[in-house]
Copies of this chain bind each other. A is one copy, B any other.
Amino acid sequence: MRKRGYSLAEQLLDTLEERGYRSTSPRRAVANVIAGQERHFTAEELREKLPEVGRATIYRSLKILVDAGVLCRVLLEDGNLHYQLSHRGHHHHLLCVECGASEDLLGCDIEDLLQSVSAAHGFQLSGHWLEVYGRCQSCLQTQVPA
């Protein structure tokens, strides 16, 4: 839908502008770092990479991006909250506990299953939270190489 050379960071900023947010230099900095992020990251990590950006601004930006749907919150097994770029729509993550890789879990029947199980209990489903932890293919292969 957009011209070539249109970077991810620019996309993020455009999404914000569409929602009435101004394009400011701290937000550009945040967008650039996030766009270059290969894995999920914490607010603290973002802060370390952008020491010139105020703490409140980091948290504000994260919140805005989550609300806009371009970032999603991820709960790690240790209970820590991370963020990662979200691919369109509601989904869940497969998180590698070794290298931190994550994959989106799509096209599976979890939603339907939950719906029917809830109904069986007389519950009207309103939401759910699911994270799946494990070891990814490449970590399994490099493991015990001797």
User: Which residues of A are at the interface with B, using a C-beta cutoff of 8 A?
Assistant: 75, 77, 79, 81, 94, 96-97, 103, 105, 108-110, 113-114, 117-118, 121-137, 140
Are A123 and B97 closer than 8 Å at their CB atoms? no
Q: Chain B residue with minimal CB distance to A96?
A: B123
Known: A75-B75, A124-B140, A129-B133. 15 other contacts (CB 8 A): A77-B127, A96-B123, A103-B121, A105-B121, A110-B117, A114-B132, A118-B134, A121-B136, A122-B136, A123-B132, A125-B134, A126-B133, A126-B134, A128-B133, A130-B130
List B contacts of A123 (CB < 8 A): 94, 96, 103, 132, 134-137
Q: Of B127, B132, B134, which contacts A134 at CB under 8 A?
A: B127
Q: Of B96, B103, B110, B126, which contacts A110 at CB under 8 A?
A: B110
Are B126 and A97 closer than 8 Å at their CB atoms? yes
**A117-B105 CB under 8 A given contacts A77-B127, A128-B132, A129-B130:** yes
